[in-house]
Amino acid sequence: MMKENEVTGRFLERFHTNESDLVSLVGEILLNADDGELYAERVESENIVLDDRRIEEPNFSIFQGFGLRRVEGLCTGYVSSDIFSTEEIRQKGLDLSGSLSGKSHHPIMNKVQGIPMYAQRTALTKDLAERIELLREIESYIRGKDDRVQNVSVGLMGQNKEVFLIRPDGLLRSEIRPLIRMSISVVVDDVGSQSFGGRYDYASLFDPKVWKEYADSALRSALLCSEAKPCPAGKMDVILSNGWSGVLLHEAFGHMLEGDFIAKGSSDFVGKKGQRIASEGVTVIDQGNIPDRRGSATFDDEGTPTQKTILVENGILVRYMHDRLSARILGEQSTGNGRRQDYMHAPIPRMTNTYMEAGSHSPKDIIAATENGIYVEELGGGQVDITTGQFDFTVKLAWRIKNGILVEPVKGAEIIGSGQKALLSVDMVGNDLSLDSGTGTCGKEGQSVPVGIGQPTIRIQKGGLTVGGTEI
Amino acid sequence: MKKIAHDIFSLVKKEGGTAARFIFHDTSDLEVSVRDGGIEKKDSGRRVSFTITVWIGERVAGVSGNDISLSSLRVLVKQACDIARMSEPDPYTILAPRSMWPLDGDSIFKQLNLCDNSFVPTMNDLMKCALEIDAENNTRSGISTSGASVYYRKGTAFMITTEGFELSSAATSFSAFANCVAKQGEDMSSGDFGDGARHFSDLLSFEKIGKTAGDLSLQLIGAKPIPTGSMPIVLSRMSSDSLLGHFASAITGENVFKKRSFLKESLSKRIFSSGVTIIDDPLIPRLLGSGVVDSECTARQKIMFVKDGVLTRFATNRESAAKLGCSSTGHANGFGNLYMENGKVSPEELMADIKRGVYVVDFIGHGPNIVTGDYSRGVRGFLIENGKITRPIQGVTVAGNLSDMFMNLSVANDLDIGRYNAPTIRIDGMTIAGEQP
C-alpha cells in the first residue's frame, strides 16, 4: 500500500519546500483566523466510450492546483491557483488576508487518523488496448442477446486523485483516492442503463461475472421500458426497491440535514432535533468510512477522519451532518462531512454514503400486502427544494400492483411529495438493505462529488407521495 | 501562447502525429456571497486549462491539463500519441476544411462585443453589489433569511490547428442572484431570481433582482395541492425556455443518429403548432451564447430550425452531419442563442379564457425522457382561475408527451432574447396530478 508520506513527499517536492517551512507559511497566512487550511490536489483521469459501434476519442487528463481558505466568524475567504510554488502560496495568501476582518485563535484539530479506505494505490491498471477489448466484448455480448437492440453504449472512467492538506496547527493529511466507474446503456425503443464502480482498480470490472450481470440488467430494463404502459396518476401505495432507490432518501431527506442549511435556517429540519421526523422503523445513517465505496474517504476535505453518523434513529432526528464551519456555528462537532469538488472550491457539508437500516419484512411480503399501488424498480434522478422539503423524482421503470401481484410494467411517471411526510408514511421496511452499485454523483452549489446511497425495500403508504403520470 | 502551440505541434510531429489541435483557456473569477446583510464568502481564482487533440492518420486521442510547463506538455503529448496509436481508426472525428471556416474570425468576434472593458470590478465592488441586492430583502417583513451572490468572470480562449486555423477571443460575464426564504407560522417557501450578462450595464437593476426573489418567496407561501385533472398550463418566461432545451437536445444530431430522440424521424415534418418559429443565432452582439466558431473550426451562423411549425434541420457537428448525410451546422459545442419567436397576444390575453389551469414559475426534478418524449415534472407555481392567478400550489406534477405538447402550444409576445429566450407559453390538455379527484 502507498505510504501516506510518499504522497506528502510528492506534494512538498511540487511546491519545492519542506514540511516545517510550509507549516509556518500556512500559519503566517492564517494568523488570527478562526479556521482554514492549504489544500492541494493532483487528479489523473482517463475515459473511453464505445458508442454506435465506434470508440470515441479516448482521453487522458492531469489537473492540479491548490486552494487556501481563511475563515473568520461566519465569513469564508477562498483563493485558488494552479501554480505550485511557495511564492504563489504567499501571493495568494496576501489576497486573502485583509479581505476579511475579525480576530480569533485556531481551534486545535483532533489528530486522530482515519482508517485508510482503499486497498489499491492506483485505479489505472489497464492499458487502452485492454479497455477497448473489454468494451467491444460487452457490446457484442449485448447485441448478440437480442436483435431488437438498436444501439449499445459502454463507457469506462478511471481516476486517481492525490490530495494533500495542511493546517496552521501543523496537522498534515494526504492520500490517493482511486475511483472507477463503468456505464452501460442499451437502446431498444426506450433506453435501459446500468452503471457501477467504486474506489478500487479495474480488475473486478474485467470479471465477466460482474459486467454480465449489469449488461443483462441494462438490456432487461430497455426491453421492459420499451413495452411499459403509461403510469397511473394520483395517490397510492408506493414501494421502492432496495439499493439505488435510496436516492430519494438522499435528496428528499439527507440534504435537509446538512449543517449549512441548518445554520442558515433554510432547512425544514431546523430546531427539530429530538423530534419524530420519520416512522418508528426508520433509521438513517451517513457513513464515510465504508471501504471501497464511492462516497468514502479516509478523511474529509478539511482533514477530519470520516465516521459513521446516525442521523435518524427509529424515526427521531438525532444529528445533523457538519463540516467544521457549520459545527462551530451550531456548537457541535464536525462529522467528517466537509467535502469539495476540487481545489477550486471551499468545502461545504456534503453526504458521503447515506442509507436506511434494514427492517424485518421480506420484499415479497411487502408486495403481497399491497392492494393497489406501484412497485418502483428503477428510480431516476431527482431534486428537492430544501426549504419546503418538496421533492420530485423520475420513475424510470415501475410495476403496477393489484391485489398483491405485479401486473404490468409502467413508466413515464414522476413521484413528488415532501421528505418528512414521505418518511412519516413509511409503514414497511424490508430486510434486504443494499447499497447502490457505485454510480451516484451529487450536485450542490455548483460542486459535484461522488456519493453512495442505499436502502432496503420500503413501502410508503397511500398519501405519503403523489404519483404523477398521464393516466388519470 | 503561439510559441507554446508550435512547441506542441513539433512534439506531436516527432511522436508520429499527422495533425493536431490546441485549445487554451485562461479564466479569472471573482465571487461574493452575502447573507442577512453580512459577508458570507469571498472567492477568487485564476485557472488555465488546455486540450490537445492528436491525430495519427484516422486514429485520434485527446489529453488535457493545466500545467503548461514544457516537461508536462512533453509527457501529455507522448501520452496522446500512445493512446491514439492504440485506439481504433475513427473516420468521423475530423476538423472542418478551410471552406467552412469563418471568413474573418477575428473581426466577426470583435463585432460581437463580448468583453466589457469599461468596468473591471474588484472584490469590494462586487461586495457592494451583493449587499445592494440583499438590502431589498434583508429587513423585509415576512422574510426569515435572505442572501445574494455576484460573480465576475473574465476569460480568454485560443484555438489553433496544424491546418492553419487560429482564433483568440476574450469575453467577460457578470451574474447576480438573490434568494430568500419566507416564513409564516410553520409554512416556509423559497424564492430565487437572477440575471447574467456579458456587459455590466446589461444586467437588470439590483433592486429588481432582489425584489423579484423576495416577491416570489412571499407569493409562494401557503401553497396547497389541487385536485387531479386535465387542464391547460401556462409557462412563465422563467420556465418556458426549458421547452427549448428539450427541443435542442432532441434535434442534436448525435441523439438523432444514435436513436436517442423522439424527433429522429421528424425532419421536414410539422412538430409544432403553426406559426411557431425557432431560431439559433450565435452572432448576436453582447449575448452569453454568442461565438464565432465551434471547436471543429466550423463557422457558426444564424439558422432557423423550425419554420411555421416545421422542423427544417438537425443541429450537427462533423460526425453527426456525416452520419445523417448533411453538412455541419457548427453545433459541436451546442447551441448559441436559441430562441422562439413571439406570438401575437399578450401573456394576459393568452390565459384570459382559462377557467382553471396551472401557472408555472419553475419546474423541479429531472427533465423529460428525450428518447420517447414522455414528460412528467413537478411544478412550483400558481392556480389560474377564470384567467387570473389566484393562489400558490404545491405537490403538483404536470405530465404529457413532448410531441403532443409541441403541437398544442401557443405563444405570447413577451420574448426578451438573452434573458428570456422563449415568450410565455400556453399548453392545453396537460395531465395534472395532485390530490385524488
B41: which chain A residues are within 8 Å (Cβ-Cβ)? 75-78, 346
| pLDDT computed for residue A467 by the predictor | 85
Of B293, B251, B294, B296, the closest CA to residue B93 belongs to B296
Question: How many Å lie between the alpha carbon of B103 and the closest alpha carbon of chain A?
Answer: 28
Question: How many Å lie between the alpha carbon of B344 and the closest alpha carbon of chain A?
Answer: 30
The DSSP bridge partners found for residue A401 are A373, A406
Pairwise CA distance, residues A259 & A330, whole Å: 8
Which member of B76, B87, B88 has the closest CB to residue A62?
B76
Contact A472 B80 (CB under 8 A): no
Pairwise CA distance, residues A38 & A27, whole Å: 10
What's the grid cell of residue B423? 415568450
Q: Cα separations (Å) of B27 from B44, B67, B297?
A: 11, 14, 21
Evaluate if residue A3 carries a pLDDT over 60. no
Mean pLDDT over A17-43 rounds to 94
Identify whether A411 is part of a domain. Answer: yes
Q: Which residues contact A413 (CB under 8 A, 6 or more apart)?
A: A231, A233, A374, A394, A395, A398, A467, A468, A469, B376, B399
Domain shared by A213 and A322, yes or no: no
Identify whether A232 is part of a domain. Answer: no
Which member of A132, A151, A392 has the closest CB to residue B365?
A392
| pLDDT computed for residue A104 by the predictor | 42
- The count of CB pairs under 8 A between chains A and B is 243
In this structure, the dihedral spanned by the alpha carbons of residues A378, A379, A380 and A383, taken in order and rounded to 10 degrees, is: -170
Contact A75 B39 (CB under 8 A): yes
Contact B39 A100 (CB under 8 A): yes
| pLDDT computed for residue A391 by the predictor | 87
Binned at pLDDT 50, 70 and 90, residue A342 comes out as very high
Of B234, B206, B220, the closest CA to residue B150 belongs to B206
Question: How many Å lie between the alpha carbon of A405 and the closest alpha carbon of chain B?
Answer: 23
Q: Which residues contact B265 (CB under 8 A, 6 or more apart)?
A: none
The region that residue B321 occupies, defined by phi over 0 for left and psi between -120 and 50 for alpha, beta otherwise, is: alpha
Binned at pLDDT 50, 70 and 90, residue A464 comes out as confident
Q: Cα separations (Å) of B286 from A44, A161, B25, B26?
A: 37, 39, 20, 20
DSSP B230-289: EEEEEE-HHHHHHHHHHHHHHTBHHHHHTT--TTTT-TTSB-S-TT--EEE-TT-TT-TT
Q: What is the CATH number of the domain that holds A82?
A: 3.30.2290.10
Mean pLDDT over A153-157 rounds to 97
Domain shared by A432 and A303, yes or no: yes
Of B306, B307, B299, B308, the closest CA to residue B327 belongs to B299
Per the document, the length of chain B is 437
Pairwise CA distance, residues A335 & A327, whole Å: 8
Mean pLDDT over A65-70 rounds to 96
A260: which chain B residues are within 8 Å (Cβ-Cβ)? none
Contact B86 A129 (CB under 8 A): yes
Domain shared by A98 and A211, yes or no: yes
Question: How many Å lie between the alpha carbon of B144 and the closest alpha carbon of chain A?
Answer: 8
Per-residue pLDDT of A184-241, as tens digits, reads: 999 998 899 999 999 999 998 999 999 999 999 999 999 999 999 988 877 899 999 9
Pairwise CA distance, residues B378 & B103, whole Å: 47
Evaluate if residue A471 carries a pLDDT over 70. no
Per-residue pLDDT of B219-253, as tens digits, reads: 999 999 898 889 999 999 999 999 999 999 999 99
B257: which chain A residues are within 8 Å (Cβ-Cβ)? 52
Question: How many Å lie between the alpha carbon of B412 and the closest alpha carbon of chain A?
Answer: 26
Identify whether A136 is part of a domain. Answer: yes
Which member of B84, B365, B400 has the closest CB to residue A382?
B365
- Decide if B150 contacts B126 (C-beta within 8 A): yes
Identify whether A97 is part of a domain. Answer: yes
Q: Search chain A and give the residue with CA nearest B363.
A: A392
Per-residue pLDDT of B280-326, as tens digits, reads: 999 999 999 999 999 999 999 999 999 999 999 999 999 999 999 99
Binned at pLDDT 50, 70 and 90, residue B350 comes out as very high
What's the grid cell of residue B138? 434583508
Of A102, A100, A96, the closest CA to residue A29 belongs to A96
Count of other CB atoms within 10 angstroms of residue A227: 12
Domain shared by A244 and A369, yes or no: yes
- Tell me B398's DSSP state: E
Domain shared by A186 and A298, yes or no: no
Structural element, H or E, at residue A244 = none
Q: How would you label B252-262 residue by residue, b for 16+ Cβ within 10 Å and e otherwise?
A: bbbbbbbebbb
B62: which chain A residues are within 8 Å (Cβ-Cβ)? 57-60
Evaluate if residue B419 carries a pLDDT over 70. yes
Which member of A62, A190, A412 has the closest CB to residue B67?
A62
Q: How would you label A9-19 residue by residue, b for 16+ Cβ within 10 Å and e otherwise?
A: eebbebbebee
Question: How many Å lie between the alpha carbon of B319 and the closest alpha carbon of chain A?
Answer: 11
Q: Search chain A and give the residue with CA nearest B432.
A: A468
B53: which chain A residues are within 8 Å (Cβ-Cβ)? 57
Q: Search chain B and give the residue with CA nearest A49.
A: B87
Which member of A59, A191, A390 has the closest CB to residue B395?
A390
* Weakest mean pLDDT among A37-46, A393-402, A413-422: A413-422
Contact A468 B376 (CB under 8 A): yes
Mean pLDDT of all residues belonging to chain A: 91
Range of the domain at A145: 4-226
Mean pLDDT over B358-383 rounds to 90
* Pairing verdict, β A35-51 and A151-166: antiparallel
Of A236, A245, A283, the closest CA to residue A391 belongs to A245
Mean pLDDT of all residues belonging to chain B: 95
What's the grid cell of residue B114? 463580448
Identify whether A231 is part of a domain. Answer: no
Which member of A74, A191, A233 has the closest CB to residue B38?
A74
Evaluate if residue B418 carries a pLDDT over 60. yes
> Which of A201, A226, A251 lies at the terminal end of a domain, its last residue?
A226
- What are residue B346's phi and psi, to 5 degrees? -75, 160
* Weakest mean pLDDT among A44-58, A136-150, A380-394, B127-141: A380-394
Which member of A57, A64, A386 has the closest CB to residue B61?
A57
Selected residue with higher pLDDT from A429 and A382: A429
Which member of A65, A190, A469 has the closest CB to residue B372?
A190
Domain shared by A309 and A191, yes or no: no
Pairwise CA distance, residues A164 & A176, whole Å: 9
- What are residue A87's phi and psi, to 5 degrees? -60, -45
Which member of B92, B228, B376 has the closest CB to residue A413?
B376
Question: How many Å lie between the alpha carbon of B301 and the closest alpha carbon of chain A?
Answer: 26
DSSP A402-414: ETTEEEEEEESEE
The DSSP bridge partners found for residue B54 are B20, B61
| pLDDT computed for residue B376 by the predictor | 86
Domain shared by A171 and A251, yes or no: no
Question: How many Å lie between the alpha carbon of A67 and the closest alpha carbon of chain B?
Answer: 9
B264: which chain A residues are within 8 Å (Cβ-Cβ)? none
Identify whether A267 is part of a domain. Answer: yes
Mean pLDDT over A43-49 rounds to 96
Domain shared by A244 and A341, yes or no: yes
Domain shared by A250 and A213, yes or no: no
Q: Is B384 exposed, middle or buried (0-12, 13-18, 19+ CB in 10 A)?
A: buried
SS3 of residue B126 by DSSP: helix
B181: which chain A residues are within 8 Å (Cβ-Cβ)? 265-266, 387
Binned at pLDDT 50, 70 and 90, residue A162 comes out as very high
| pLDDT computed for residue A382 by the predictor | 81
| pLDDT computed for residue A160 by the predictor | 96
B93: which chain A residues are within 8 Å (Cβ-Cβ)? 56-57
Looking at residue A158, its amino acid is G
Question: How many Å lie between the alpha carbon of A74 and the closest alpha carbon of chain B?
Answer: 6
Contact A82 B394 (CB under 8 A): no
DSSP E strand boundaries for B320-387: 338-340, 356-364, 374-385
Looking at residue A160, its amino acid is N
Q: How would you label A180-193 residue by residue, b for 16+ Cβ within 10 Å and e otherwise?
A: bbbbbbbbbebbbb
Question: How many Å lie between the alpha carbon of B400 and the closest alpha carbon of chain A?
Answer: 6
- Decide if B340 contacts B276 (C-beta within 8 A): yes
Among B21, B25, B43, the residue to mutate for chain A (most A Cβ within 10 A): B43
* Total structural domains within chain A: 2
- Decide if B300 contacts B283 (C-beta within 8 A): yes
Q: Search chain A and give the residue with CA nearest B44.
A: A79
Domain shared by A216 and A87, yes or no: yes
> Which of A196, A226, A256 lies at the terminal end of a domain, its last residue?
A226
Evaluate if residue A2 carries a pLDDT over 50. no
> Which of A226, A259, A294 lies at the terminal end of a domain, its last residue?
A226
Looking at residue B71, its amino acid is S
Contact A380 B378 (CB under 8 A): no
B372: which chain A residues are within 8 Å (Cβ-Cβ)? 189-190, 412
SS3 of residue A373 by DSSP: strand
The DSSP bridge partners found for residue B46 are B28
A385: which chain B residues are within 8 Å (Cβ-Cβ)? 190, 364, 380
- CA angle in degrees (0–180, nearest 5) for B417-B420-B425: 115
- Decide if A298 contacts A322 (C-beta within 8 A): no
Pairwise CA distance, residues B409 & A201, whole Å: 51
Identify whether A283 is part of a domain. Answer: yes
Q: Search chain A and give the residue with CA nearest B62.
A: A59
Among B183, B224, B259, B364, the residue to mutate for chain A (most A Cβ within 10 A): B364
Contact A59 B397 (CB under 8 A): no
Contact B66 A82 (CB under 8 A): yes
Evaluate if residue A267 carries a pLDDT over 90. no
Question: How many Å lie between the alpha carbon of B192 and the closest alpha carbon of chain A?
Answer: 11
Identify whether A412 is part of a domain. Answer: yes
Domain shared by A71 and A40, yes or no: yes
The DSSP bridge partners found for residue B259 are none
* Residue B435 CB-half CA count within 13 A: 7
Contact A128 B83 (CB under 8 A): yes
| pLDDT computed for residue B437 by the predictor | 47
Per-residue pLDDT of B23-80, as tens digits, reads: 999 999 999 999 999 999 999 998 999 999 999 999 999 999 999 999 999 999 999 9
Which member of B64, B397, B436 has the closest CB to residue A468?
B397
Which member of B64, B80, B376 has the closest CB to residue A414?
B376
Domain shared by A203 and A282, yes or no: no
Q: How would you label A74-97 residue by residue, b for 16+ Cβ within 10 Å and e otherwise?
A: bbbbbbbbbbbeeebbeebbeebb
Evaluate if residue A470 carries a pLDDT over 80. no
- Decide if B368 contacts B401 (C-beta within 8 A): no
User: What is the strand order of the sheet B303-307 is part of?
Assistant: B310-311, B303-307, B278-280, B338-340
What's the grid cell of residue B267? 425532419
Per the document, the length of chain A is 472
Pairwise CA distance, residues A300 & A340, whole Å: 9
Evaluate if residue A170 carries a pLDDT over 60. yes
Selected residue with higher pLDDT from A338 and A252: A338
Q: Search chain B and give the residue with CA nearest A394.
A: B366
Mean pLDDT over A365-373 rounds to 96
Of A272, A266, A416, A258, the closest CA to residue B191 belongs to A266
Contact A414 B378 (CB under 8 A): yes
| pLDDT computed for residue A111 by the predictor | 60
